[in-house]
Structure 1
Amino acid sequence: MSHVTDRAPALDLQRLSRELSLTWDADILPALRDYIAVPAKSPMFDPQWAEHGHIDTVVQRAAVWAESRRVSGLKLEVVRLNDAAGRPRTPVIFFEVPATRPEPAGSAAPTVLMYGHLDKQPEFTGWRNDLGPWTPKVDDDKLYGRGGADDGYAIYASIAAIEAIQAQGVGHPRLVGLIETCEESGSHDLPAYLDALRDRLGEVSLVVCLDSGAGNYEQLWLTTSLRGNVTGTLRVEVIEEGVHSGEASGVVPSSFRVLRQVLDRLEDSATGRLLPASLHAEIPPGRIAQARAAAGRLGDAVWKGLPWSCGLDGNPVLPTTTDPVEALLNRTWRPTLSVTGAEGFPAIASAGNVLRPWSAFKLSLRLPPTVDGPAAGRELKRLLELDPPYNARVTFVPDGRAGAEGATGWDAPGLQPWLERSLESASQNHFGAPLGYIGQGGTIPLMNLLAQGFPKAQMLVCGVLGPKSNAHGPNEFLHLPYARRLTAAVAQVIAEHP
């Protein structure tokens, strides 16, 4: 049934904020508590995800919740595909809501694509004694637990925003939603779904991605760029089994020392600068200017907001730079290496005087937004495995499937005037502060895929991951007041889509 009208009333922004706040408190918050309680870990961290059924549980619950809302014309489907070997791919939720205003004559109807994901990072250690990854708790207007902020809230906020627009009889363009369950594993299943759903996606003119961050909780922040990423396991093997270190050390090269030598090809350990020129990119002048503006707003909070440990004489550990501009550029446009896991090392309590046969590190290489991810993954493998010291067995195995050696980042297109005006208005109306622009150090593979598939689309990438929200780590939280305001801001932008 069509609800298209010739003229639609203007959006009552006070009513919008009020009703969305009520929806968050009465309906979204209980749903997110249930969501957090399910350990729906991404396939990389739960290879038996299909057998365990946790991902299916959160998908079905989100689908049922969405279909229970008063969204006129909503059609929702849980789409399931198999890979070439017949194995199940992680499912996606796809929904459609028809336009409720006249469509332009003689051209394809503009479509707004709303994106999020329901898979989660693993538990990690270090949670507060009264918190846990699968035990939701609200404390000081923050909802603690794994996945609430990153970004299980997205489908609930998206549906609530549409519902609030329709409740006022305000017209909106055609809307589609794509909620995946493989994002934390690099979205390796997503291209197959994009191909399968391409005709149903339509002519995407605006992408709303609620999987990003915020510089503070005082204004709306637009993500201007995302870094790429290469992850994988670097392993060094030197002997078949562990032997007495008194007998072998000095004769058998330490697998850890070999590993250090290999990493020295990649990184200057004194500065953290990555050595291969191919991993760097020129930073656009406009992004430098935006970093300066963001640094002017955030100041030393850019680096002081991190949970520094106590160092020498009780003073905190020092950052790589105390210049807020350089800190922002380091975490958004410069490549960096992190070691995120290790194997081959016994726990200290059970570590005897044994020269270990092998060492392995899990590497995470963040790339500038414009560096080709798969090419960087191939170059990394070549660099690390070439001419191994002592002829040791050195292997680097990228995560993901064949052809997915790395994920390419994303640099946002310029804003069209209507979107820039709408975002500024939304920030002022719902936060009482101007719009902020900030790059993010994380990776959302979908954005690069959509930029290629819909090169003319505008991108509204934002999210609730502000200071200390700590996605992927301990004590992850969703800042509830910010989430309410963000949902209202997104609803306003959708209603103002030309």
Structure 2
Amino acid sequence: MKALERHLEERRAQHLEQLIEWLSIPSVSALSEHKSDVRRAALFVQNALTTAGFEHAEVMETGGHPVVYADWLHAPGKPTVLVYGHYDVQPADPLHLWETPPFEPQIRDNQIYARGASDDKGPTFMHIKALEAILRIDGHLPLNIKFCIEGEEEVGSAHLSAFLEQHKTRFAADLVLISDTTMLGPDQPSICYGLRGLAACQIDVRTANSDLHSGLYGGAVPNAIHALVELLDTLHSKDGTITVDGFYDNIEGLSAEERKAYAELQHDDKAYQASLALTALHGEPGYSTLERLWTRPTLEINGIYGGFQGEGTKTVIPNEAHAKITCRLVPNQNPEDILNKIKAHVEAHTPTGAKVTFTPMDSGHPYLAPYDHPAIQLAANAYTHAYGVKAAFTRMGGSIPVVETFSQLFHIPVVLMGFGLNDENFHAPNEHFSLVNFDKGLRTLCYYYKHLPDALSPQSL
């Protein structure tokens, strides 16, 4: 390991120059004007993988933005790891809030500032460089490696499932390794072994055939906004419990071991509340804040609109109102089933005089890995090697739908080794990535790859 770490130190400046070049490409997958930039970022990945010593590097078409594939398959009898990442980034708006231009990377206070620095170009780049270092020092890898670096993660990976199904043999592996999650803190690495799923929908309420004068019609006709508010109020009890019939069916309770582990993290509710300028925290009773964030389902109203929005007053009774809803789901909850239950609830609670349309939208399944799996336990040891502290085992409140895609398609474990931090402004202005975690993360990954064949041996599984 000392030779590997010395190699990384000697080439640090070169690696950062290359990362800066990649971050300078505005690969915004959501905006059509950046289509050529997205492809340029894919070509950068292809060249970086080839230069690192990988073979069969190819930009593969998907029907949308391409996937970059490469491999090194010269370790017969050893396991195969599929490394997933994404090279597309979120739009940079609002631009005026950036201290420096989002696609002109700057290093300040040992942080690299640019759109995509933390999500997910920085962490993905680290895998390429860690494996390149092993190839340079040892002349070979201790296992077989495949890469799947996509360009549509920030727009829902719309084409990835069908693409992977079509090329299932090519991407087959024994384990998937992803660095697109966060650590608990700057000095507290963590392994995420669970993700919540997603179920989204829109509710549209209509009453009369047009907006109506509030003086001529007020008191005699239904108001679409009143109806929508009345309907939305039926989705929760006052203590935060979701009241949709069957919403909590089949959810498994937390094990005593997990509850103990989360309690030992000593989450500071008061500091958390203060950091968000809240007067109180609120959520399903009977659970701690971390348990609510990581292991319990939610139903959130994300947007509500209708009626007059302009300056001043308009005496009108709106004839339509709209709400957008997303649910975060936990294991044993199926997005389609949950959306059907919400639809049934909406239909049963439609207010008098209202016509309600329910439209299902995005969805993704939850994921939970056994955190006693040797490959996940090895991740903890790798963090300890680089950071000098014991890694925590956590779940994450967000969703990464591709994780469940890999799990369902290949029936293999997915290991989530994050190196970003929650305050690094991914998806927001002034996104940045800690170069301390860049350096320590490279050491972590080298240790992990070197020891992974033993963790995946038949004796360990």
Worse overlay, 190-199 or 17-26: 17-26
Partner residue of 2:403? Answer: 447
TM-score of the superposed pair, with normalisation by structure 2 = 0.86
Query: Cα deviation per residue 1:75-105 (whole Å; 9 max; x = unaligned)?
Result: 2212113xxxxxx333222221223x4x22x
Q: AA paired with 2:335?
A: G
Query: Cα deviation per residue 1:390-414 (whole Å; 9 max; x = unaligned)?
Result: 34232222224xxxxx211100134
Aligned-pair CA distance for 1:430: 1.0
Aligned-pair CA distance for 1:275: 1.8
Q: For 1:155-174, what aligned pairs fall within 5 Å after superposition? A: 155-169=124-138, 171-174=141-144
Does 2:374 match 1:417?
Answer: yes
CA contact (8 A) 1:219 1:432 kept: no
Match for 1:177 among 130, 140, 147?
A: 147
Partner residue of 1:28? Answer: 19
Tell me how far apart the structure 2 counterparts of residues 142 and 382 of structure 1 sit (CA, whole Å).
Answer: 49
Partner residue of 2:458? Answer: none
Match for 1:304 among 259, 272, 286?
A: 272
Worse overlay, 225-234 or 142-151: 142-151
Number of residue pairs the alignment of both structures matches: 451
Tell me how far apart the structure 1 counterparts of residues 34 and 94 of structure 2 sit (CA, whole Å).
Answer: 25
Aligned-pair CA distance for 1:438: 0.7
Tell me how far apart the structure 1 counterparts of residues 361 and 142 of structure 2 sit (CA, whole Å).
Answer: 40
Tell me how far apart the structure 2 counterparts of residues 320 and 22 of structure 1 sit (CA, whole Å).
Answer: 46
Aligned-pair CA distance for 1:466: 2.1
Q: AA paired with 2:343?
A: K
TM-score of the superposed pair, with normalisation by structure 1 = 0.80
Distance 1:308 1:177, change over 3 A: same
CA contact (8 A) 1:465 1:471 kept: no
Query: Cα deviation per residue 1:328-366 (whole Å; 9 max; x = unaligned)?
Result: 110111111233334435545366333233222222211
Query: Cα deviation per residue 1:285-332 (whole Å; 9 max; x = unaligned)?
Result: 44x5345434433531796287423xxxxxx43222799971111011
Q: AA paired with 1:76?
A: A
Tell me how far apart the structure 2 counterparts of residues 308 and 369 of structure 1 sit (CA, whole Å).
Answer: 28
Match for 1:469 among 424, 432, 451?
A: 424
Does 2:85 match 1:94?
Answer: no
Aligned-pair CA distance for 1:125: 5.7
Does 2:317 match 1:355?
Answer: yes
CA contact (8 A) 1:291 1:328 kept: no
Identical residues among aligned pairs (%): 23
Match for 1:213 among 168, 182, 197?
A: 182
Query: Cα deviation per residue 1:423-467 (whole Å; 9 max; x = unaligned)?
Result: 233112211111111110111112112222333x33320223423
Does 2:165 match 1:195?
Answer: yes
Partner residue of 1:56? Answer: 39
Tell me how far apart the structure 2 counterparts of residues 470 and 291 of structure 1 sit (CA, whole Å).
Answer: 29
Distance 1:94 1:243, change over 3 A: same
SS of 2:181's equivalent in the other structure is coil
CA contact (8 A) 2:53 2:135 kept: yes
Does 2:28 match 1:40?
Answer: yes
Distance 1:199 1:156, change over 3 A: same
Partner residue of 1:312? Answer: none
Tell me how far apart the structure 2 counterparts of residues 191 and 448 of structure 1 sit (CA, whole Å).
Answer: 10
Distance 1:473 1:247, change over 3 A: farther
Distance 1:18 1:176, change over 3 A: same
SS of 2:191's equivalent in the other structure is strand
Tell me how far apart the structure 2 counterparts of residues 322 and 360 of structure 1 sit (CA, whole Å).
Answer: 25
Distance 1:354 1:135, change over 3 A: farther
Query: Cα deviation per residue 1:121-171 (whole Å; 9 max; x = unaligned)?
Result: 455669746367666554433334443322233432221121111121153
Does 2:45 match 1:75?
Answer: no
Partner residue of 2:350? Answer: 388
Point out where structure 1 has 5 or more consecutive residues left out of the alignment.
1-9, 82-87, 310-315, 401-405
Tell me how far apart the structure 1 counterparts of residues 265 and 336 of structure 2 sit (CA, whole Å).
Answer: 35
SS of 2:174's equivalent in the other structure is strand
SS of 1:366's equivalent in the other structure is strand
Partner residue of 1:438? Answer: 394
Point out where structure 2 has 5 or more consecutive residues left out of the alignment.
454-461
Tell me how far apart the structure 2 counterparts of residues 355 and 481 of structure 1 sit (CA, whole Å).
Answer: 57
Partner residue of 1:328? Answer: 290
Partner residue of 2:223? Answer: 254
